[in-house]
Amino acid sequence: MIREALQKDIDVMQKSSPVDLVTETDQKVEQLIISSIKEKYPTHSFIGEESVAKGEACVLTDKPTWIIDPVDGTTNFVHGFPFVAVSIGFAVNKELEFGVVYSCLEDKMYKAQKGKGAFCNDEPIQVSDVQDIKKSIIISEHGVDRSPEKVTKIFSTMQKILCIPVHGLRGSGTAATNMCLVACGAVEAFFEIGIHCWDIAAGAVIVKEAGGLLLDVNDYLSLVCSLAIEIDCCYRQVSAFVVGMAVSTAHECDFEEEK
C-alpha cells in the first residue's frame, strides 16, 4: 500500500505543526493493520499513532496490546526519501513481547521476540562490537518541535557529540529504522529528544534481542512513560558516554491513567 501510494499524488495534512505531517496513507495503513488483527484477536487492545492523534485514549493496560506506527517517517514518505517504516510492537502485562519493523522501500523486515533473538529478512543480526566512541557512528533526529529552546538543546547535544569526535552523525528520518540500524550494527548509538511509544515499541525488542541497550538520562526505560532522551547502544561504555553528553528536556507521558 505504501509503495503504491508513492506512485500517486499524496494529499498532505498537518497535525501539531507545519512540520508534523500526516497523509491518508498513514490512516489507511493503520486501519488495515488494526482490522486485520481484530479479526483474529477481537479482545486485544490497540494504541495507534493516528488513532491517538484523532483523540482516542492512549491507555496501556495488562491486556494484550498492539502498539502501531503505520508510517514511521511520514515526511520521508511525502518527499520520496527512501526510509519509511511500518512499526508494530506487542505488549502483555505492560511488557513488550515482540516487535516487527518493515522498512518498505528497502524491503527489509526486522523482527524479534523476547528471548529468541533478532533478525533482518530471517538472517540473525547483532549490534556493533565497537568499544571506542571515537570510532562510532551516532544516529539522531531533531523531531517536530521547532521551538527555539528545543532546537537549541538538540543542536547543543549534537555539537558535543560531533566534537568528541565521532566518525559521523547521521539521521534516517525514522526512529524505528534508526533503532534497527543499531540492532544490525550499522551504527553504534541512536538518541532522540522527545519520542513516543509507537516510535520505539517494536524497535525496543529488536535492539534488546540483538544485544543492545535502551537507556534514558536516568539509566531507566519504562514503556509506561515516553522517554526524555532515548539511547540505544551496542556497548555500555558508548551508551554511558552519549547519555552523559546529552541534554535532558521535559516530555509528556504518552499514556493516560487507566480507568
Annotation: binding site for Mg(2+): 49, 69, 72, 199
d(CA 190, CA 138): 6
d(CA 51, CA 225): 18
Q: Which helix (H) or strand (E) holds 199?
A: helix 197-209
Annotated binding site: 49, 69, 72, 199
Which distant-in-sequence residues (6+ apart) come within 8 Å of 123 by Cβ? none
Task: For residue 202, give the C-alpha cell.
Answer: 517494536
DSSP type of residue 89: E
75-88 CB burial, b ≥16 within 10 A, e <16: bbbbeeeebbbbbb
Alpha carbon distance, N-terminus to C-terminus of the chain: 36
Query: What does each C-alpha distance from 150 to 28, 123, 161, 247, 249 come to in angstroms?
Result: 32, 39, 17, 10, 8
